């Protein structure tokens, strides 16, 4: 089993709003059969955390295999503009706005 975690950097003060939009996006992917149930978590600066993790959002899910989203026959779900609204809240000031990590679970 693999754990996949995507991290996003948001503009200052926008973590909660962005996390709510990302939850909608994650639900669309889950409902379309693209992913397992996804959890979204964030720190907007109201909880203790390392300084470099403030205004970050994490989207995490599990998968039996790591498969390319660009594989033949795969159909991307319609995000109906919610993705554009989400992107407006991302911090593009220094480096990438997001990155992805792959972890292997031991059972």
Q: Which long-range contacts (CB under 8 A, 24 or more apart) does 92-95 make?
A: none
Share of the chain above pLDDT 90, in %: 68
Whole-angstrom Cα distance, residue 24 to residue 90?
16
11-23 pLDDT per residue, tens: 999 999 999 999 9
Residue boundaries of the structural domains of the chain: 2-66+79-104
CATH of 2-66+79-104, one of 3.40.50.150, 3.30.70.100, 3.30.470.20, 1.10.730.10: 3.30.70.100
| pTM of the full structure | 0.90
Write down the pLDDT at residue 61. Answer: 96
66-77 pLDDT per residue, tens: 988 888 988 888
């Amino acid at each position: 089993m693999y754990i996949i975690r995507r991290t996003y950097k948001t503009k200052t003060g926008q973590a909660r709003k962005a996390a709510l939009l990302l939850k909608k996006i994650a639900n669309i992917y889950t409902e379309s059969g693209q992913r397992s149930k996804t959890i979204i978590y964030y720190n907007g600066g109201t909880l203790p955390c390392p300084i470099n993790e403030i205004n970050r959002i994490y989207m995490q899910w599990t998968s039996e295999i790591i498969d390319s989203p660009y594989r033949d026959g795969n159909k991307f779900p319609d995000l109906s503009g919610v993705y554009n609204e989400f992107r407006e809240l991302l911090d593009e000031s220094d480096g990438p706005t997001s990155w992805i990590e792959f972890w292997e679970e031991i059972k």
